[in-house]
Chain A
């Protein structure tokens, strides 16, 4: 499937500060990608460049195969951007707000009415149409902004910290909306600091630090691609202590220890190394009966990739 958004070697400088350096990634339809990085890592700058709100000093952003730098107007028809902070207009109801943006996106007549009805239905704003936008809660404002973003039916959605400041219920509801959008075939790039939350609905991650892309890909693949260490839990027929001693002598194995009747350790390398270790355990007569990799959590992955484990 062709990517709908391609960010290719993008660099952005502010004076001497290199806010974004040679960042590349792609988004495909129907996927949700978490865009992760500490404060000041260049996430918002990258998102703004993707949204055509800023220009890269170098590199290219392609939206649906066309350069967003050469033709930002065309790109804006495909991209929806939801900034992290935005205000609602005073003296304006939800219905007027949505109607205004529908007109601003060039929707006319019946098409506008149908689109508004569909977006209001999807975001659940129906009961609030006559309410003033200034009186909405943070969660409802996020929904309103999402509704506005969905009006031109964008194929790519860039959401900058969409759940920041939301209460748990609003977060769950927003997460469901994001999932629903992915099912509709849209490509979503969601930046957030709440990594556990991203892990719940992201297929992939793009991790940036100090303006550089540290890793990008499916969450499970990123560790493997970067030859990350993996945590393994093994139970054997022999005494656990003997298993731990055996593992401690093996190449690439670290931190082998006994935990709740099983040996737990970390091993550098990919699945081939794991297979070799398992074969060695069988050959040594340890009798492994349970050999399981512990899944890599997003927070764990982020902390390791950004070199802050144990910090």
Chain B
């Protein structure tokens, strides 16, 4: 290699996120990834060979092989890779290396994104390595190109969202005990989701006509948008936790609240189901109530002590990113919304809920009517909190480009609505192309208002109001801190700090 080539090789990636490069290099060399890669390849190859050699040649062979391959790949990329990502961030705490990273010019955002992209690269590598096996399915009867492509894209998207959630959880894991607990919960949750999706996978593979239904793609789009929101939410949480170590002090209380808020409703939901109260609106309402109120209350109660200091510093420093994390999605909102996202995901896969709880809360393959209502309300609460918080952010002084980041979130909500309309137009679904779908608040709220007397819906409105009430003191406090922090700067008055005249001096000549 000549000198010029060596230099260009060395300088390659100068503009890349260095953490991404480092993480990817480390991961690909790690024993864990090697074992995972070899295992998935062995399973893929063995399954394909077994199907071709001993499978019954008929219309079922292709779908059966595809299901087996998708399951093997899914377990690898939806369960194992997010766990690797969790451990990667958690180890930064354990090894005391996070401080070193934060002291570099890498911000918390780039740290989180570096780890995310490294995990996604591994996911892509595994997915691409499975392409030949999926190609074999195409040669068999009963499988067309759209099906494996849809499965691959879905698995990658789900894996990306799961990785974001894993990173969000890992950012909480500052002690060894908490790390072990969170890792256990994450593993169980990912296994549960994977297992819960298996029946849906089987149904989809065997009833490929679903892929031609507008309703499927509408629902798919909604789930995709919700996944994006969930992923963005988890990333923002992770970034905020890395930027604000002050939150660490109240982290255990909020983590326990969050876990409690997720676990308890499952128990409450399961109880009426077990007793035959299948349509259990009370169970669903209780679930939403706990998911929203418990984290919101505890998060607010435990976090307020540190807010003033953090806000004051950020305002003095004219640095919007940390403040944005608090104001756009303050702690209480983060806790509540994270829980809501989980609710939506569990609720959306109604087949999974049926399988686990034996409920018949939904009537169809995808979102049932009642679940859909709650999902809509939850997603509206999610989306509408952002503009409200945006108004709060007006009290700060922001560099112009930060507005783009602030606007990105509500813009995403708008795009999700327009995207649904576009899909409706392409598929020739008049209702969707007219804007009638779950993420469009205007049409759906209008429709739901006719059944406003429904107790469950009323209860949800009450909960939304209560949640808003919980947020009000926070907003008032934010405004107060903003005014307090900006007032001295405007008048040029000095801050109440120690006097340099009285301080001892070391060194110097």
- Measured CB to CB, the residues of A under 8 A from B are 1, 3, 6, 8-10, 14-15, 22, 24-28, 31, 33, 48, 51-55, 57-60, 67, 69-73, 76-77, 79-81, 83, 85-92, 96, 100-101, 103-106, 108-109, 112-113, 145, 148, 152, 187, 203-206, 213, 215-218
A54 touches B245 (CB 8 A): yes
Given A8-B503, A28-B509, A216-B506: A92 and B96 within 8 A (CB)? Answer: no
B499 interface residue (CB < 8 Å to A)? yes
> Which single member of B99, B316, B508 contacts A81 (CB below 8 Å)?
B99
> Which single member of B11, B18, B507 contacts A100 (CB below 8 Å)?
B18
A89 touches B22 (CB 8 A): yes
Can you name 10 extra interface pairs (CB under 8 A) apart from A70-B313, A86-B99? Answer: A8-B498, A24-B500, A26-B507, A51-B99, A52-B103, A53-B103, A59-B498, A101-B104, A109-B11, A206-B504
Specify which chain B residues have a CB less than 8 angstroms from the CB of A77 in the assembled complex.
Answer: 105
Given A26-B506, A71-B317: A9 and B497 within 8 A (CB)? Answer: yes
In whole angstroms, what is the CA distance A205 to B499 when docked? 20
In whole angstroms, what is the CA distance A22 to B496 when docked? 12
In whole angstroms, what is the CA distance A59 to B30 when docked? 45
Shortest CB distance B466–A (Å): 29
Given A9-B497, A81-B103, A109-B11: A104 and B18 within 8 A (CB)? Answer: yes
Specify which chain A residues have a CB less than 8 angstroms from the CB of B100 in the assembled complex.
Answer: 83, 86, 101, 145, 148
Q: Which residue of B lies closest to A77 (CB)?
A: B105
Specify which chain A residues have a CB less than 8 angstroms from the CB of B150 in the assembled complex.
Answer: none
B95 touches A87 (CB 8 A): yes
In whole angstroms, what is the CA distance A104 to B23 when docked? 13
Given A69-B313, A72-B317, A108-B11: A53 and B102 within 8 A (CB)? Answer: yes
Specify which chain A residues have a CB less than 8 angstroms from the CB of B495 in the assembled complex.
Answer: 60
Specify which chain A residues have a CB less than 8 angstroms from the CB of B509 in the assembled complex.
Answer: 1, 28
Shortest CB distance B191–A (Å): 26
Shortest CB distance B103–A (Å): 6
B215 interface residue (CB < 8 Å to A)? no
**Which residues in chain B, 177-207, are within 8 Å of chain A measured between CB atoms?**
none
Given A25-B504, A26-B507, A103-B14: A60 and B498 within 8 A (CB)? Answer: yes
In whole angstroms, what is the CA distance A77 to B496 when docked? 27
Shortest CB distance A221–B (Å): 10
Given A83-B100, A91-B29, A105-B105: A27 and B317 within 8 A (CB)? Answer: no
Q: What 0/1 readout, one digit per residue, does chain B (17-31) give for beta carbons within 8 Å of chain A?
A: 011011001100110
B498 touches A87 (CB 8 A): no
A-B contact pairs, 19 of them (CB 8 A): A1-B508, A3-B505, A10-B498, A24-B500, A25-B506, A33-B507, A55-B313, A58-B496, A67-B316, A76-B103, A77-B105, A81-B99, A89-B22, A89-B95, A101-B100, A109-B11, A109-B14, A152-B104, A203-B507
B402 interface residue (CB < 8 Å to A)? no
In whole angstroms, what is the CA distance A20 to B186 when docked? 38
- Number of B residues near A (Cβ < 8 Å) is 49
A204 touches B507 (CB 8 A): yes
Specify which chain A residues have a CB less than 8 angstroms from the CB of B7 in the assembled complex.
Answer: 113
Shortest CB distance B205–A (Å): 38
Q: Which residue of A lies closest to B11 (CB)?
A: A109
B500 touches A8 (CB 8 A): yes
A55 touches B498 (CB 8 A): no
| Count of A-B residue pairs with CB < 8 Å | 161
Q: Which residue of B lies closest to A106 (CB)?
A: B105
Q: Which residue of A lies closest to B18 (CB)?
A: A103
- Measured CB to CB, the residues of B under 8 A from A are 7, 10-11, 13-14, 18-19, 21-22, 25-26, 29-30, 91, 94-97, 99-106, 245-246, 249, 309-310, 313, 316-318, 495-500, 502-509
Specify which chain A residues have a CB less than 8 angstroms from the CB of B506 in the assembled complex.
Answer: 25-28, 31, 33, 204-206, 216-218
B504 touches A96 (CB 8 A): no
Specify which chain A residues have a CB less than 8 angstroms from the CB of B318 in the assembled complex.
Answer: 70
In whole angstroms, what is the CA distance A131 to B476 when docked? 56
Shortest CB distance A101–B (Å): 6
Specify which chain B residues have a CB less than 8 angstroms from the CB of A187 in the assembled complex.
Answer: 507
B26 touches A24 (CB 8 A): no
In whole angstroms, what is the CA distance A73 to B318 when docked? 12
In whole angstroms, what is the CA distance A26 to B508 when docked? 9
Specify which chain B residues have a CB less than 8 angstroms from the CB of A26 in the assembled complex.
Answer: 503, 505-508
B498 touches A104 (CB 8 A): no
Q: Which residue of A lies closest to B504 (CB)?
A: A216
Shortest CB distance B492–A (Å): 15
A91 touches B26 (CB 8 A): yes
Q: Which residue of B lies closest to A104 (CB)?
A: B104
B508 touches A104 (CB 8 A): no
Shortest CB distance A91–B (Å): 4
Given A26-B507, A55-B313, A217-B505: A87 and B96 within 8 A (CB)? Answer: yes
Given A9-B498, A204-B506, A204-B507: A104 and B106 within 8 A (CB)? Answer: yes
Cβ-closest 4 pairs across A and B: A9-B498, A87-B95, A31-B507, A24-B503
Specify which chain B residues have a CB less than 8 angstroms from the CB of A105 in the assembled complex.
Answer: 104-105
Of residues B11, B316, B505, which shows the largest number of chain A Cβ atoms within 10 Å of its Cβ?
B505
Specify which chain A residues have a CB less than 8 angstroms from the CB of B106 in the assembled complex.
Answer: 104
In whole angstroms, what is the CA distance A109 to B8 when docked? 9
In whole angstroms, what is the CA distance A8 to B362 when docked? 64
Specify which chain B residues have a CB less than 8 angstroms from the CB of A76 in the assembled complex.
Answer: 103-105
Specify which chain B residues have a CB less than 8 angstroms from the CB of A60 in the assembled complex.
Answer: 495, 497-498
Shortest CB distance A193–B (Å): 19
Shortest CB distance B411–A (Å): 27
Shortest CB distance A132–B (Å): 10
Shortest CB distance B114–A (Å): 10
Shortest CB distance B367–A (Å): 44
> Which single member of A8, A73, A90 contacts B30 (CB below 8 Å)?
A90
In whole angstroms, what is the CA distance A10 to B102 when docked? 22
In whole angstroms, what is the CA distance A77 to B104 when docked? 8
In whole angstroms, what is the CA distance A218 to B505 when docked? 9
A51 touches B26 (CB 8 A): no
Specify which chain B residues have a CB less than 8 angstroms from the CB of A217 in the assembled complex.
Answer: 504-506
